[in-house]
Amino acid sequence: MKRLMLIAWAIALAVLPTGHAGAGTTALVSFHGTGNGAWERRLQIQDLLRSGFDFDEVTVLVDTTPKEVPKQVRKFLESPLRDGDKRFVWISGAGKSICPGNATAPIQPRAPSLILAPGCYISAVRFPQGARHYGLTTPEPIRAAARVGRIDSRDPAWVSLLALPSSEDRHIEGADMLLLESLKAGRDHGIIDPSALLHALRAGFRWNDSRYTPTLNLFHQGTETDALAPFGFLPKQKASDRLDRIRPVTLRKARLNLHETPRAHLGPALSIRKSEPVRVLRADPSGGMRFVAVGEKIFGWVRRDDLRL
């Protein structure tokens, strides 16, 4: 029975379109190295994007090897722009072969685009001047517009990239499921909110022994998001239930130094006086760093010795 289901999934995916055809809201999806569950997730995301967010076209890369994925991503994001185009990319997989090479020219999105991809794509995608990087905090809709810079008239109004894990299948699969849950939560509003996806990964990714840090790069010209649908910002949500269930810990010092990565020797990115609960979410492979939530808006790595565990 399971074999018949896999064959049916393969047939269904094989007949999906393989290129950009006309203006509209289109998606490119590629899941690699995540076991048999990847088949089911491909169908889930295809159905969710089409029925929940009114995508006109969803292309799933089935026979493409990990090494060929970056070329497909470039072709999709750099394809000629037509009025009304919006593009969504979800690349999930392990290893360096799924990443663009360092020697290749930057990928330049032509249309408003939201990209979910391994962190190596951050340096591979060209963001317009003024883009913001969110490593510790979360975009506030009223303040999310790009910093002042030379905005080219050819720049798309929206480009965002959410970094995903790229090592260990269980981490990749876990992040995929968290994103699916978050997308389903936004379906009633018809909005894909990168800040909500970022929060879902920060609060829900609870696997120890991983150095993965969810981050978001966002360029938003400040135009009304109605014209960018389905991309935008969801109405303000209450604190995540995942955080509420975690017991707060106390500090050994009056101030807390937060790092954007578990590499503490690079120095802290932010130093704050504790005024909200600090909750420990997971530990890095060395055991010397902890990924924590401070309240519900700040996330980062701290030294284990700074906490009373």
Could you read off the pLDDT of 152-174 as tens digits, one per residue?
778 899 999 999 999 888 999 99
Bridge partners of residue 88, in order along the sequence:
27, 114
**In terms of C-beta density within 10 A (0-12 exposed, 13-18 middle, 19 or more buried), how is residue 133 classed?**
middle
Q: How is residue 262 written in tokens? A: 């578990």
Q: How confident is the model at residue 238 (pLDDT cuts 50, 70, 90)?
A: low
Give the span between the Cα atoms of 117 and 125, in whole angstroms.
11
Give the span between the Cα atoms of 214 and 296, in whole angstroms.
15
Q: How is residue 258 written in tokens? A: 């937060």
Determine the pLDDT at residue 152: 74
Determine the pLDDT at residue 33: 64
Number of other CB atoms surrounding residue 198 within 10 Å: 23
Share of the chain above pLDDT 70, in %: 89
Domains of the chain (ranges plus CATH)?
2-228 (no CATH), 241-308 (2.30.30)
Number of other CB atoms surrounding residue 285 within 10 Å: 11
For β-strands 113-118 and 132-134, DSSP reports them as: unpaired
**Contact yes or no for 268/261 (Cβ under 8 A):** no
Give the span between the Cα atoms of 248 and 69, in whole angstroms.
42
Coil, helix or strand for 176?
helix
Determine the pLDDT at residue 41: 82
**In terms of C-beta density within 10 A (0-12 exposed, 13-18 middle, 19 or more buried), how is residue 97 classed?**
middle
| Residue pLDDT, tens place only, 40-55 | 888 889 999 999 999 9
Give the lowest-confidence range in 31-45, 86-100, 258-272. 31-45
Torsion of CA 185, 203, 120, 230, to 10 degrees: 20
Closest CA to 166 of 203, 207, 117: 117
Coil, helix or strand for 109?
coil
Determine the pLDDT at residue 9: 37
Determine the pLDDT at residue 37: 67
Identify residue 280 by its one-letter amino acid code. V
Backbone angles phi, psi at 115, to 5 degrees: -120, 125
| Residue pLDDT, tens place only, 175-203 | 999 999 999 988 989 999 999 999 999 99
Coil, helix or strand for 9?
helix
**Contact yes or no for 204/72 (Cβ under 8 A):** no
Identify residue 66 by its one-letter amino acid code. P
Q: Identify the DSSP state of 50.
A: I
Average pLDDT value for residue range 257-283: 90
**In terms of C-beta density within 10 A (0-12 exposed, 13-18 middle, 19 or more buried), how is residue 236 classed?**
exposed
pLDDT at 118 over 50: yes
Q: How is residue 114 written in tokens? A: 């939201």
Number of other CB atoms surrounding residue 98 within 10 Å: 24
**pLDDT, mean over the chain:** 87
Determine the pLDDT at residue 1: 42
Number of other CB atoms surrounding residue 140 within 10 Å: 11
| Residue pLDDT, tens place only, 63-113 | 889 899 999 999 999 999 988 899 999 999 887 889 898 777 999 999 999
Give the span between the Cα atoms of 133 and 137, in whole angstroms.
9
Coil, helix or strand for 266?
helix
Identify residue 248 by its one-letter amino acid code. P
Write down the residue that tokens 């978050």 correspond to.
182
Give the lowest-confidence range in 16-20, 126-130, 269-273, 303-307. 16-20
